[in-house]
């Protein structure tokens, strides 16, 4: 992305009607820390613009990175971290142990990246402490290493662990049972070491598995604005060309011409009746079941975003069973200690 395009994006954002009290400026790629010079410049420009306009976001904004962490210890990145530390969230994508991480996160020559990342993790945890959040992607091939990987991240001092099941159709028979076994091992480790009040691990959330009766639903919160290097606007990075397997990018506007509200409107109008198949409408444990509008779009034959995919259905049911086991066991322990 050029500076000119980045500046136009900032000006576009500053011109929008303020409908949210908070703004999160999220740098994601690709690998954003390869462009730390541009990011530092555009961050300074955003802050200056908010000050000049006395913008409502001035006292309630943050910068966020989703990064592979390989450049985290570089001098320029550390200068940025020092400058914006109190306004900064850094989420590092580490998939767990060396063997799990290196299955997917490789250099172009095929070499795994874990060994180069490990020293940077120590620095990151030291700097962000309880706010350090890791992002672990799980698919069929690395599912057998899930429990050892989450436990490994805990031993590294990471307090917030997001476990993200891929929504693409990669799951096979028996994966639900294996996922359940892996989650039980994690649950027992957390309970045996009395860590449940010290950690946040995404599969263990008391809201998982409750009925979801909300009429208007969107799985990732409100749609966001995402900008590519040409100034095209999307509602998610997963609608950009490099994230799609077979469909055309789903562009909703440009920084030059603004938002096409007709293209935005469908993403604001999800409701249960129009999007969910019958089994989901009647599901008593549907809350927090993972799905994705962009995967709906990519997997559908017609290009609709309203045909909800259900690829993780069996894994979600496994998650609910273990989540109930986890919280019931904690309640039993706490009740008996009163």
> What pLDDT is stored for residue 215 in this prediction?
60
Torsion angle defined by CA atoms of residues 180, 184, 186 and 187, in that order, rounded to the nearest 10 degrees: 130
Q: Which tokens belong to 42?
A: 């555009």
In total, the chain counts a number of residues equal to 338
326 pLDDT above the threshold of 70: yes
The mean pLDDT of 319-338, rounded to a whole number, is: 96
Residue 227: which of 247, 252, 244, 261 has the closest Cα?
252
Q: Confidence class of residue 217 from pLDDT cuts 50, 70 and 90?
A: low
For tokens 């993403």, the residue is 267
> What pLDDT is stored for residue 29 in this prediction?
85
d(C-alpha 27, C-alpha 89), whole Å: 10
The mean pLDDT of 221-241, rounded to a whole number, is: 90
d(C-alpha 44, C-alpha 232), whole Å: 22
The mean pLDDT of 247-269, rounded to a whole number, is: 92
The mean pLDDT of 227-236, rounded to a whole number, is: 95
Residue 214: C-alpha distances to residues 148, 203, 249, 289, 292 (Å): 36, 21, 29, 14, 17
The mean pLDDT of 319-330, rounded to a whole number, is: 97
129 pLDDT above the threshold of 90: yes
For tokens 């599969």, the residue is 203
285 pLDDT above the threshold of 70: yes
> What pLDDT is stored for residue 187 in this prediction?
98
d(C-alpha 162, C-alpha 92), whole Å: 10
Torsion angle defined by CA atoms of residues 256, 260, 264 and 269, in that order, rounded to the nearest 10 degrees: 150
The mean pLDDT of 311-328, rounded to a whole number, is: 97
Range from 17-26, 59-68, 215-224, 305-314 carrying the lowest mean pLDDT: 215-224
The mean pLDDT of 212-216, rounded to a whole number, is: 63
> What pLDDT is stored for residue 223 in this prediction?
64
d(C-alpha 331, C-alpha 326), whole Å: 9
**170-194, pLDDT tens digit by residue?**
999 999 999 999 999 999 999 999 9
Give the sign of the dihedral formed by CA 142, CA 137, CA 220, CA 196: positive
Residue 38: which of 66, 70, 61, 7 has the closest Cα?
7
Residue 96: C-alpha distances to residues 130, 249, 310 (Å): 18, 31, 26
Q: Confidence class of residue 213 from pLDDT cuts 50, 70 and 90?
A: low
3-state per-residue secondary structure call for the chain: CCHHHHHHHHHHHHHCCCCCCCEEEEECCCCHHHHHHHHHHHHHHHHHHHHHHCCHHHHCEEEEEEECCCCCCCHHHHHHHHHHHHHEEEEECCCCCHHHHHHHCECCCCCECHHHHHHHHHHHHHHHHHHCEEEEEECCCCHHHHHHHHHHHHHCCCCEEEEEECCCCCCCCCHHHHHHHHHHHHHHHHHHCCCCCCCEECCCCCCCCCCCCCCECCECECCCCEECCCCEEECCHHHCHHHCCCCCCCCCEECCCEECHHHHHHHHCCEHHHHCCHHHHCCCCCCCCCCCHHHHHHHCCCCCCCCCCCCCHHHHHHHHHHHHHHHHHHHHHHHHHC
The mean pLDDT of 121-147, rounded to a whole number, is: 96
d(C-alpha 110, C-alpha 127), whole Å: 31
> What pLDDT is stored for residue 44 in this prediction?
98
d(C-alpha 43, C-alpha 77), whole Å: 13
């Amino acid at each position: 992305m050029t500076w000119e395009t980045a500046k136009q994006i900032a000006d576009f954002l500053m011109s929008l009607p303020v409908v949210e009290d908070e703004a999160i400026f999220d740098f994601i790629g690709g690998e954003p820390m390869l462009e730390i010079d541009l990011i530092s410049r555009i961050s300074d420009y955003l802050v200056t613009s908010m000050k000049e306009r006395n913008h409502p976001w001035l006292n309630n904004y943050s910068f966020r990175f989703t990064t592979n962490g390989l450049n985290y210890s570089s001098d320029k990145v550390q200068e940025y971290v020092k400058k914006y530390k109190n306004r900064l969230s850094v989420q590092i994508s580490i998939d767990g142990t060396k063997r799990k991480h290196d299955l997917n996160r490789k250099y172009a020559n095929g070499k795994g990246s874990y060994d180069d990342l490990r020293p940077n993790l120590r620095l990151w945890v030291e700097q962000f402490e309880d706010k350090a959040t890791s992002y672990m992607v799980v698919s069929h091939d690395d599912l057998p290493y899930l429990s050892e990987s989450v436990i490994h991240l805990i031993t590294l001092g990471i307090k917030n662990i997001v476990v993200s099941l891929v929504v693409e159709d990669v799951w096979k028979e028996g994966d639900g049972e294996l996922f359940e076994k892996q989650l039980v091992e994690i649950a027992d480790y957390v309970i045996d070491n009395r860590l449940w009040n010290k950690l946040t691990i995404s599969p263990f959330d008391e809201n998982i598995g409750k009925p979801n009766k909300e009429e208007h639903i969107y799985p990732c919160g409100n749609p966001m604005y995402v900008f590519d290097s040409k100034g095209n606007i999307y509602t998610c990075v997963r609608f950009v060309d490099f994230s799609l397997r077979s469909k055309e990018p789903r562009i909703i506007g440009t920084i030059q011409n603004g938002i096409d509200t007709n293209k935005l409107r469908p993403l604001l109008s999800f409701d249960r009746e129009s999007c969910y198949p019958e089994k989901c409408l009647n599901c008593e444990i549907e809350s927090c079941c993972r799905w994705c509008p962009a995967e709906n779009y990519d997997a559908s034959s017609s290009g609709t975003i309203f045909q909800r995919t259900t690829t993780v259905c069996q894994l979600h049911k496994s998650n609910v069973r273990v989540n109930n086991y986890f919280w019931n066991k904690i309640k039993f322990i706490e009740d008996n200690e009163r």
